[in-house]
Amino acid sequence: MADDLKGRAPGHGVDCSAEYVESYRRTHLHPEDLEYRLSYYRIVLLDGLLRDYSYLDAGCGTAGYFRLMRNARRLTGVDYSERMIATAQDFSVRNGYAGKTRFVCSDFSAFESDETYDAIRLGVYGSYLPVSVPVLKKAHAMLRPGGFLLIGITLPQGFRGRLRDRLGLASTRISGRRFEQLVREAGGLSILTATRVRHRMHYLLRSGGGENGT
Ligand SMILES: C[S@@+](CC[C@H](N)C(=O)[O-])C[C@H]1O[C@@H](n2cnc3c(N)ncnc32)[C@H](O)[C@@H]1O
């Protein structure tokens, strides 16, 4: 991997175990999990909606979804795990879409881009890192007007989790109500759809227009 593509972020140097990477590689070969199947469905719909588009995946992992994005012009994957990035690159070569991909080994909080994207998926937030107003503003700034944002949140569980959520404390687990509040505060984005799967809520947002848009 070229040195200029390596992040110098707090997370740099962190790596996922070989077993963890392998579990995702296998999941993409045989996507049996319900949540993964629904993710595939969302990606296929997005791909059908757009033409010649640019896409950014924050926390791309093995980026196995990329093979479904046939109409994309440019696919960018950011992940701080060198192992994940190596597997993602291998996957892209084997499946014949390496020519339109770019992988960046960086902590997403340190990732900056001159480019804007037609669609972004923030896989890292709501599971690894808390969703916040600055994060949503950053995603909005990287989106073209009318661009789409995919993000999933993990819902709070138990009394303490719900209390933390009510108090607005930073957590990777937040309620839909709190997420909607963060979107309103960030501005510029409107929620198009919300789908609950077990303890996760998956959102599709759009930049500009709508109630929250500018
Ligand atoms: C649940 S896995 C994603 C798997 C991916 N969707 C796939 O299908 O292979 C989450 C990924 O986020 C990455 N990650 C976690 N925190 C990150 C951060 N702060 N910056 C960049 N990547 C991060 C991990 O290395 C991991 O590959």
Q: What is the pLDDT at residue 209?
A: 56
Cα–Cα dist 179/174, whole Å: 7
Both structure tokens of 107 = 């902590």
Rounded CA gap, 156 and 160, in Å? 9
Average pLDDT in the 21-42 region?
A: 85
Return d(Cα 74, Cα 84) in angstroms, integer. Answer: 19
The secondary element (H helix, E strand) that includes residue 43 is: helix 34-49
Question: What is the Cα–Cα distance from 163 to 158, expressed in whole angstroms?
Answer: 9
Determine how β-strand 72-79 pairs with β-strand 200-207: unpaired
Q: Range with the lowest mean pLDDT among 33-37, 78-82, 119-123, 137-141?
A: 33-37
Q: Is the pTM above the cut of 0.85?
A: yes
Q: Percent of the chain at pLDDT above 90?
A: 72
**Which residue owns the Cα nearest ligand 1 atom 19?**
107
Ligand 1 center–CA 16 separation, angstroms: 9
**Ligand 1 nearest-atom number relative to CA 15:** 25
- CB within 8 A of 186, min separation 6: which ones? 133, 136, 137, 140
Distance CA 135, CA 112 (A): 12
Out of 80, 95, 200, 202, give the residue to mutate to test ligand 1, the one with the largest number of ligand atoms within 8 Å of its CB: 80
Top mutation candidate among 35, 60, 106, 122 for ligand 1, by most atoms within 8 Å of CB: 60
Cβ < 6 A, ligand 1 pocket: 11, 16, 24, 59, 61-62, 64, 78-81, 84, 107-109, 123-124, 128-129
